[in-house]
A and B are shown apart, each in its own frame.
Chain A
Amino acid sequence: MQKKDFRTLVDQYSAQVLDTAVRILGDAQKAQDVHQEVFLAIWRRWHKYNGQTNWDAYLYRTTVRKAIQFNKRLRNEQHLEQQWEHSFSKENPDEPLRTAEIQQKLALCLARLPKRQADIFVLSRIEGLKHEAIAKMLGCSENTVRVHLHRAMKQLAQQLSGYLG
């Protein structure tokens, strides 16, 4: 496959990748960084793809993982821990948080979840995919999807309880 094929892939899936990253990260700059990482990783291995790749599934999976890892990486650099603490200390506890703030807190919580729970939560509740599609995408059973989704929801609801509603 040639460069023009790669350009076609970017043209076709750029919006999906960027929008998914925006929804997970709540930060345009970070989302663009993830977008770049996703496509350049594919570009580096472009000669390996044989035309059989299910790009829809592959890009969903990769984008979700990279976006979550993006936050995790920052957290590992301790920067995010401070951000976490800062982010979770409301100046005015009675003032409801804006969607963007809640979204960023959600992103931080997702980075703390076990990988599969986080992936499944995003694919199900943020990307709106059916259990069947997620199971197929991640190579597991629908029941596994259900179990991980439940665990993720339980964790996230607890962690965000002071800031939602």
Chain B
Amino acid sequence: MSEHKKVNELLIDFALGELSPLAEDDVKKHLAECHQCNNKLNQLKALLECTENVKQLSADAQMHKSAKEKIFATIDSRETKEPTYRPNISRLGSRRVSLEFRRIIMKSRITKLAAAAVIIIAVIAAINQFGGSGTSAVYAAVVEQLHNARTMTYSIVTQTNIESIPTVRVEMAFKEPGYMRITTIDGYITVIDWAQNKGISIWPSRQQFLDFEASNYQHDPAQDPFVVIENLRALPYEADEILGEKEIDSRVLQGFRVTKDDMISTVWIDPQMEQLVRVEMKYTNAPGMNTIMTDFQFNVELDDLLFSLIPPEGYTRLEVQADVSQVTEQDLIEYLRSWSSWTKDGTFPPTFNLVALPKVAMEMEKQGNFGEGETSSQQRQADAMQMYRGIMFVAQLPAQSNWRYAGENVKYGDADIPIFWYQPDGSETYRVIYGDLSVKELTADRLPK
């Protein structure tokens, strides 16, 4: 390396006074005879002098006072935005269900039985997207963008490796303080207002709507989800893995991987624009199933009418009132009973994993495991409600309840086989549900291994 080049590389450290005395002498000697390096050094010194001047600046007392007052005035005028109770559905989300669930079920007899509940579950499907903890400035910038978003829209495409299950595309829209709208490509619309804990699903083709309510959720700030947007906002500032660059749709994107529990999220960002372009999610316990999120837009104007809970004129109601604060163990038992009545062999649901459940239900349907026959619309509503309440009971159990489901391949009536157990809050014993749907209380040492 020439002396000039060598000194050139040391000029910044020289300007900053960070060179050793020996290296400093070498630079000085070169500077005495190199006009070019002298010019560069002068530029650097001028920059440093400028920043030294800037460093001395500060706001005056009046500015400080008015800035603070502005903040306080704003928060006082937005009383309702103070950390509000939002439905605690993150636990359910962590055992997320695919949007595909609704489709699968709609094609089977169970579908007809559970349509209403499944619509709600489909909504919940969108809840849990991210989590985890690498490092990248671009990635962090996108996370910050998410954190600051007042509105957000994007598309979700859910695919499975099952040929007969169609790919489903859903459009999502969010608006603060807690509105969410989901539109499927075939026109189903679901709107939820989390501030009111109310929602509406609209079926334009049937001129029907379903309004639902889920109030008085147990508040758990640590897990407060505010559905998808909050989960997106929960993205850690650092990814687990930096994947490098890849060209997707003629754009060179930078990839980051975030892993949490059973979900692996790959986040693709346009590094130049610091723009979130694509998120791919895979589930370790549902191989073949993946969700792709694209077309992200932040802070676009979204009309409040998009989030109206008022049904279109002339639509008829299919009502479900679900005060999930009151769901009980009995709701779970009734759900288990209902499921066993839907299957030809009287078995219970193979799983409570809401990601795996759609796939399993589809396979069961293909294999003809569900019984045939029509039921009344009233019965379908009642069963749908029961399914929803049963699932919600489990979804709301805290992690410390150590709940476990072991009902796969167990038939209704198998009185000696425990199929579900959990430890109620504050109880020293476990509640154990058997195959005949009887319940006993057992100490931990007597639980099945």
Alpha-carbon distance A43/B147, docked complex (angstroms): 12
The answer to whether the Cβ of A40 comes within 8 Å of any Cβ in the partner chain is yes
Residues of chain A within 8 A of B47, CB atoms compared: 153, 156-157, 160, 164
CB atoms of B46 and A165 under 8 A apart: yes
Chain A interface size, as a band, is 35 or more
Residues of chain A within 8 A of B54, CB atoms compared: 23, 26, 99, 102-103, 106, 126
Interface string of B17-59 (1 = CB under 8 A from A): 0000000000000000000000010111111111101110111
Given A18-B64, A44-B81, also A139-B238 (CB < 8 A) = yes
Residues of chain B within 8 A of A19, CB atoms compared: 57-59
Residues of chain B within 8 A of A154, CB atoms compared: 12
Closest to B52 in A: A125
The answer to whether the Cβ of B245 comes within 8 Å of any Cβ in the partner chain is no
Alpha-carbon distance A154/B41, docked complex (angstroms): 10
Alpha-carbon distance A164/B48, docked complex (angstroms): 10
Closest to A102 in B: B50
With a 10 A CB-CB cut-off, give which of B49, B54, B138, B222 has the most chain A CB atoms: B54
CB atoms of B58 and A22 under 8 A apart: yes
The answer to whether the Cβ of A45 comes within 8 Å of any Cβ in the partner chain is yes
The answer to whether the Cβ of A53 comes within 8 Å of any Cβ in the partner chain is no
Alpha-carbon distance A53/B31, docked complex (angstroms): 48
The answer to whether the Cβ of A15 comes within 8 Å of any Cβ in the partner chain is yes
CB atoms of B137 and A157 under 8 A apart: no
The answer to whether the Cβ of A86 comes within 8 Å of any Cβ in the partner chain is no
A96: shortest Cβ distance to chain B, in Å? 11
A110: shortest Cβ distance to chain B, in Å? 11
Alpha-carbon distance A41/B144, docked complex (angstroms): 10
Given A119-B137, A150-B12, also A125-B71 (CB < 8 A) = no
CB atoms of A47 and B59 under 8 A apart: no
Helix, strand, loop or mixed for chain A's interface? Answer: helix
The answer to whether the Cβ of B72 comes within 8 Å of any Cβ in the partner chain is yes
CB atoms of A139 and B135 under 8 A apart: yes
The answer to whether the Cβ of B274 comes within 8 Å of any Cβ in the partner chain is yes
CB atoms of B68 and A14 under 8 A apart: yes
Alpha-carbon distance A164/B47, docked complex (angstroms): 7
CB atoms of B46 and A164 under 8 A apart: yes
Residues of chain B within 8 A of A65, CB atoms compared: 141, 144
CB atoms of B147 and A18 under 8 A apart: no
Partner of B12 from A18, A36, A153 at Cβ < 8 Å? A153
B39: shortest Cβ distance to chain A, in Å? 8
Closest to B137 in A: A116
B172: shortest Cβ distance to chain A, in Å? 19
Alpha-carbon distance A150/B40, docked complex (angstroms): 13
Within B67-124, the residues touching A (CB, 8 Å) are 67-68, 70-72, 74-75, 81-83
Given A15-B64, A140-B135, A164-B46, also A41-B147 (CB < 8 A) = yes
The answer to whether the Cβ of A93 comes within 8 Å of any Cβ in the partner chain is no
CB atoms of A48 and B46 under 8 A apart: no
B235: shortest Cβ distance to chain A, in Å? 13
Partner of B46 from A6, A43, A45, A157 at Cβ < 8 Å? A157
CB atoms of A23 and B67 under 8 A apart: no
Given A7-B72, A47-B83, A125-B51, also A160-B46 (CB < 8 A) = yes
The answer to whether the Cβ of A89 comes within 8 Å of any Cβ in the partner chain is no
Residues of chain A within 8 A of B74, CB atoms compared: 36, 40
Given A3-B75, A102-B50, also A45-B147 (CB < 8 A) = yes
Alpha-carbon distance A29/B29, docked complex (angstroms): 48
Residues of chain B within 8 A of A160, CB atoms compared: 43, 46-47, 50
The answer to whether the Cβ of A11 comes within 8 Å of any Cβ in the partner chain is yes
Residues of chain B within 8 A of A125, CB atoms compared: 48, 51, 55
Partner of A14 from B50, B71, B237 at Cβ < 8 Å? B71
Alpha-carbon distance A106/B66, docked complex (angstroms): 26
A-B contact pairs, 21 of them (CB 8 A): A10-B68, A11-B68, A14-B68, A18-B59, A23-B58, A32-B66, A41-B148, A45-B147, A48-B224, A103-B57, A115-B138, A115-B141, A116-B137, A119-B137, A126-B54, A153-B12, A153-B44, A157-B44, A157-B47, A161-B43, A164-B43
Other 13 A-B pairs with CB < 8 A, given A14-B67, A22-B57 = A10-B72, A22-B58, A22-B59, A35-B71, A36-B70, A41-B148, A43-B81, A50-B222, A99-B53, A99-B57, A106-B50, A119-B137, A139-B238
8 cross-chain pairs, A with B, having the tightest CB-CB distances, nearest first: A47-B83, A164-B46, A165-B46, A116-B137, A157-B43, A125-B51, A19-B58, A115-B137
